[in-house]
Chains A and B, each alone.
Chain A
């Protein structure tokens, strides 16, 4: 073994160690969190696009992407600012679905003990008064929640889109999200009419 290769070997071991550190930390934080995550349900619509590298998934179009905050009828961030990340403070509705109760630009502003997610902030959309043809003082904050895809088997994804389009006519489609104390999240399941999507699809395909 050449001397230069010995040095390369040491550097390689360090580089691979660094490369493995990220995924291993990620797995550990999901599987063994210091505080167990809380489960939130978000209402959604879906469609079925394709990612050339990561396969089939269903795109989630979440209803919570427009947030009305009666006390904050103002643009929260400067338009065209390069950092458009803010934090959505979460609570649960009586039916168990998630509700965004506040949007804050600084993580220190999040009340202690509250769950939160980071979101992209787009803009403040003012309500329009059609009688007097003028914009009102009130409006909604347009945001993008950090999760927008649910991966599925490539054979199941088109079927899922069809099932859910039927489901949305009859009942709610909910995405079940585990929210960790540090703002981390993992999508757990997609629930159509109270039944997990995979169970529902397998049952349908078995018929």
Chain B
């Protein structure tokens, strides 16, 4: 948003020059000035963003301090006094929240209220378990705290509490000897998804970009907790396909790199998966043969969810006539993952899956090169080159090639990289100059 405001300011500075050179008349200049000045006034200022961020950091630090302060074991007090002290932080949270809502205060106040109420609840539960020495594990504690924090995220539209929620989710799975309460883990994840979806799909949301980062965390949590129930590899491949598909649309709409974290994350993760696949066949896709019915059920619920999102994105792009080779490559990626499972189930030799993965990686690299070429995208073009270099490097350099042969191959590939990029830059330059000439005519 700040970037767009900068562009608008630049455009406003350009308007008098445009009028002087006769491109626009004074009426148009005035209308444009009025329109864009209003947009600048309506946009949240950078100061507001800083204030919001600092209030979030401040609230988190205060919350942490309160927890530590109250969890000091004040055994000099009676049990009743300690119980009353335990209720203090939540009481403060309630007072602040009531004031915020009744006086309709700004988002910074709402963030503070959400965090203070949630922290108050956490302190209360922790202190009670301390007073009565009831024990309990960190995962049980965090599960309860998150369950109670979930409504507050919606009530206050609190992105800071949602961020903390995402981090704390990773503390809810039990350690190796504890049981994972999968229904509860699933509910915790499911509960936050409407909030995430709302901010992702709503163009005007100030948290849209930040939410793109957060959902990657939620996806990692889903893979970590539910993936092991049947085949973690399938979920990994599907998640990569979903994020890649979602990032393609953002890239096509000209979104900046840091606003589109899905593109690089899914691309590099996919490279890693494919590289392993070309070498180990279906090892990543191996099945958990000791999994119980509950684990398998939640695995398929998770996988089904990702597949639905994939389908939604694919159909949406199809209806908008924005389907490219990459879309089909992502569809094939999921099919390859399921083929891998089938081969695993029937204990087929891993060499077939290796071959499929090599073929897939090669075609994927070619489609990226084509995309780069067609759309004049240096990023996609280099992505294709990197995929091919990695495929050849990984798969064929472990063959019995001598040191001299390898050295020559490295030099040839290096030169190929540079030449391809130079040629590509030249092509882009030529296209740009043609566009300028057309505009001048």
Contact = CB atoms under 8 A, between A and B. Distances in A.
Interface of A: 1-2, 5, 8-9, 11-12, 14-16, 18-20, 22-23, 26-27, 30, 53-56, 80-85, 120, 122, 144, 146-154, 156, 185-188, 198
Interface string B130-167: 10111100100000100010011011100000000000
Given A8-B155, A23-B86, 4 more contacts: A12-B98, A82-B292, A120-B178, A152-B73
A154 B101 CA distance: 39
Q: Which 3 A-B pairs have the closest CB atoms?
A: A187-B133, A15-B151, A186-B132
A19 B148 contact: yes
A11 B135 CA distance: 31
B309 interface: no
A19 B90 contact: yes
A55 B144 CA distance: 19
13 contacts: A1-B101, A5-B101, A9-B102, A12-B97, A15-B148, A23-B86, A53-B138, A55-B71, A83-B179, A120-B179, A144-B177, A147-B134, A153-B72
Question: Contact residue range for chain B?
Answer: 35 or more
A20 B90 CA distance: 9
A143 B398 CA distance: 49
B92 to A, nearest CB: 12
Contact of A16 (B68, B94, B154): B94
Contact of A12 (B130, B133, B144, B155): B155
Contacts of A26: 128, 132
Contact of B117 (A16, A85, A151): A16
B38 interface: no
Contact of A5 (B104, B124, B132): B104
A12 B125 contact: no
A138 B72 CA distance: 46
B75 interface: yes
A82 B132 contact: no
Q: Which of B73, B86, B177 has the most CB of A within 10 A?
A: B73
A170 B75 CA distance: 27
A153 B75 contact: yes
